[in-house]
A = this chain, B = another copy of it.
């Protein structure tokens, strides 16, 4: 190893294009000489501290290596101390995984073997994932490059929240996504388990919760126990969330007496913020929650227990004279005061069972114990303010996967930016990390993976890698490579797309299907919270998710690459013939696409629905070509032409069928380049 180190060159983490296709990128990477060939003689051995979890991890690692290479490998770790990859773990981690445990590891790969050393099994698990990412096809077969990696996370809390309440998420879907979390070194699965639309956990103490509140779609306690074990095997904590006092209609179907209005209640089918809320003035509420938390605290071993606390609209409280009276009698200012009162009664019930309470921004109250954790959907400033008051926090603002932001936009969100950048070192340690959030209005088992991956990987990198790891081009390259790797875990974020398109098309010729795929490649669903607004009929939990808006990824790689090419072309003052030829080919294909799709639009309801967008794509292609023509002739395009074309772009940019045509801004740049004498056309 010394030789390799001496020969090696430093691959700095500040380098704009990391040489290794790793995500999240490690904190320190030093390249060596040569590479380690991976063939059927590959073995792995365990030394130092051992435990069954490590054996299972080695077996899973071998299975995974075998899957990504298709090389049959022995299914068990070798007994020998001469294995190709020798793992040494120093000591056990905590039996119940804790926040802030040592997750570091050192991985040394040389041409003759590899060593993975870690203080605890958590580091071992992370190092194995890094090794899997190092293995790539080479001119001689599969190999891992010689390298020394010294790695540890930046933040101790790196999570994904999945809402399995609005739409039920089957266990196999959760498992494959937990595999994905392991691959990107996230260590928290935050499980959002109750909502207006469903209560998803079997309660033996209060069986009407799942029996009446779930349409039969809930997780049994055995299943939950198994999933927690599954996550624990992968170094992932499971934090349950039971949202109170709002977001709670499904509880009241079986137990209307807990609500602030008499009921009866039905499971909510629509989306939005609803009125039902627990009655904070009733001792019944606390007696119930005490017993409920007692049961759930046993079922979920993690030290943290999430009580939600968000978006109470207060309407039921306002409408209940007894509650209004209570507010007055107890000197509470208003409904917020009443929710503080509720939280102060709730927190001891949580801590009594050995747990720390987690809640969304709204639960923050200076008089609560400093032990609680704030999860912020509001942002870094809110977290910084909490940190100054002594509270710990995790960031979710900027990490909402359902809003359809680009990977680059998520990547730019740092928990320690904004006001948080100016915190004292001690205050900064209170910012524990962050969590991406997969809210579930528009997901089902078919498309959920595509809403989480690959974008979740760049959030994972933000939370693991050094703060300076910010090169966007490198991120895009590595994200695409990782995205392909994630398929070996059974994630369906890539495969779902063609299958959904084929449902949309129905029987179709290869040319028709290609035209649909071309249209699909340049559109994205409407962003943020506009999906409800733009719907023609109010969506519910029974609405089929089978339209093009459900079938396209939330970020169009084609549109991004087209935009990059336009920028590159204009940066050369339009003097790059290769780039021009590629732009022209792309724009021509778009212009001609609608004609190929028209017959299919006659046959398929779902294609008909996007016919206007298809026409827009043609118009946009024609506009872009016209701009290129001006540029090619060295003519400055006239102002009235520019105005006409910009009007077309403006029309094209309006969402139709809840879809946005993503290359429009880049085509607009071409129009402007064609019209602005100095930028392009005058230089020809």
* A contacts, CB < 8 Å to B: 21, 40, 68-72, 75, 136-141, 216, 444, 446, 481, 484, 487-488, 494-495, 498-500, 502-507, 510, 541-542, 544-546, 550, 561, 602-606, 608
- Contact present for B139 and A603 (CB under 8 Å): yes
- Contact present for B542 and A503 (CB under 8 Å): no
Contacts of A40 on B, CB cut-off 8 Å?
542, 544
Q: Which residue of B lies closest to A485 (CB)?
A: B502
- Contact present for A544 and B72 (CB under 8 Å): yes
Contacts of A68 on B, CB cut-off 8 Å?
503
- Contact present for B605 and A137 (CB under 8 Å): yes
Bound Cα distance from A21 to B506, whole angstroms: 11
Contacts of A484 on B, CB cut-off 8 Å?
502
Which single member of B216, B502, B544, B603 contacts A69 (CB below 8 Å)? B544
Bound Cα distance from A506 to B561, whole angstroms: 20
Can you give 27 A-B contacts (C-beta < 8 A)? A21-B507, A40-B542, A40-B544, A68-B503, A70-B446, A70-B500, A70-B545, A70-B550, A71-B544, A71-B546, A72-B541, A72-B542, A136-B507, A137-B503, A137-B504, A137-B506, A137-B603, A137-B604, A137-B605, A138-B603, A138-B604, A138-B605, A139-B603, A139-B604, A484-B502, A487-B502, A510-B561
Bound Cα distance from A137 to B10, whole angstroms: 58
Q: Which residue of B lies closest to A444 (CB)?
A: B70
Task: Give this chain's copy count.
Answer: 2
Bound Cα distance from A216 to B484, whole angstroms: 31
Bound Cα distance from A506 to B480, whole angstroms: 11
Distance (whole angstroms) from the CB of A662 to the closest CB of chain B: 17
Q: Which residue of B lies closest to A492 (CB)?
A: B495
Contacts of A488 on B, CB cut-off 8 Å?
499
Bound Cα distance from A139 to B608, whole angstroms: 7
Contacts of A500 on B, CB cut-off 8 Å?
70
Bound Cα distance from A424 to B541, whole angstroms: 62
Contacts of A136 on B, CB cut-off 8 Å?
506-507
Other than the given A137-B605, A138-B506, A510-B561, 18 more pairs (CB < 8 A) read A40-B542, A40-B544, A69-B503, A70-B446, A70-B500, A70-B550, A72-B542, A137-B504, A137-B505, A138-B603, A139-B602, A139-B603, A139-B605, A139-B608, A140-B605, A487-B499, A488-B499, A495-B495
Distance (whole angstroms) from the CB of A454 to the closest CB of chain B: 14
Q: Which residue of B lies closest to A542 (CB)?
A: B72
Bound Cα distance from A592 to B481, whole angstroms: 26
- Contact present for A481 and B499 (CB under 8 Å): no
Contacts of A75 on B, CB cut-off 8 Å?
216
Which single member of B481, B506, B544 contacts A70 (CB below 8 Å)? B544
Of the candidates A138, A444, A503, the one having the most CB atoms from chain B within 10 angstroms of its own CB is A503
Contacts of A606 on B, CB cut-off 8 Å?
137
Contacts of A494 on B, CB cut-off 8 Å?
498
Q: Which residue of B lies closest to A480 (CB)?
A: B507
- Contact present for A70 and B137 (CB under 8 Å): no
- Contact present for B502 and A70 (CB under 8 Å): no
Bound Cα distance from A512 to B216, whole angstroms: 48
Bound Cα distance from A494 to B513, whole angstroms: 15
Distance (whole angstroms) from the CB of A73 to the closest CB of chain B: 10
Distance (whole angstroms) from the CB of A566 to the closest CB of chain B: 17
Contacts of A545 on B, CB cut-off 8 Å?
70
Distance (whole angstroms) from the CB of A100 to the closest CB of chain B: 35
Distance (whole angstroms) from the CB of A409 to the closest CB of chain B: 22
Contacts of A71 on B, CB cut-off 8 Å?
544, 546
Contacts of A608 on B, CB cut-off 8 Å?
139
Contacts of A542 on B, CB cut-off 8 Å?
40, 72
Q: Which residue of B lies closest to A39 (CB)?
A: B544
Q: Which residue of B lies closest to A582 (CB)?
A: B511
Bound Cα distance from A673 to B141, whole angstroms: 44
Of the candidates A494, A499, A550, A602, the one having the most CB atoms from chain B within 10 angstroms of its own CB is A499
Bound Cα distance from A544 to B66, whole angstroms: 9
Contacts of A72 on B, CB cut-off 8 Å?
541-542, 544
- Contact present for A481 and B503 (CB under 8 Å): no
Contacts of A603 on B, CB cut-off 8 Å?
137-139
Bound Cα distance from A505 to B485, whole angstroms: 12
Bound Cα distance from A506 to B137, whole angstroms: 6
Bound Cα distance from A299 to B70, whole angstroms: 34
Distance (whole angstroms) from the CB of A19 to the closest CB of chain B: 12
Bound Cα distance from A313 to B97, whole angstroms: 61
Contacts of A561 on B, CB cut-off 8 Å?
510
Which single member of B70, B139, B505 contacts A503 (CB below 8 Å)? B70
Bound Cα distance from A470 to B520, whole angstroms: 37
Q: Which residue of B lies closest to A488 (CB)?
A: B499
Distance (whole angstroms) from the CB of A588 to the closest CB of chain B: 14
Of the candidates A68, A72, A138, A487, the one having the most CB atoms from chain B within 10 angstroms of its own CB is A72
Distance (whole angstroms) from the CB of A198 to the closest CB of chain B: 13
Contacts of A70 on B, CB cut-off 8 Å?
444, 446, 500, 503, 544-546, 550
- Contact present for B546 and A69 (CB under 8 Å): yes
Contacts of A141 on B, CB cut-off 8 Å?
605
Q: Which residue of B lies closest to A541 (CB)?
A: B72
Q: Which residue of B lies closest to A603 (CB)?
A: B139
Q: Which residue of B lies closest to A135 (CB)?
A: B506
Q: Which residue of B lies closest to A543 (CB)?
A: B72
Bound Cα distance from A487 to B606, whole angstroms: 20
Q: Which residue of B lies closest to A547 (CB)?
A: B70
Of the candidates A69, A75, A605, the one having the most CB atoms from chain B within 10 angstroms of its own CB is A605
Q: Which residue of B lies closest to A21 (CB)?
A: B507
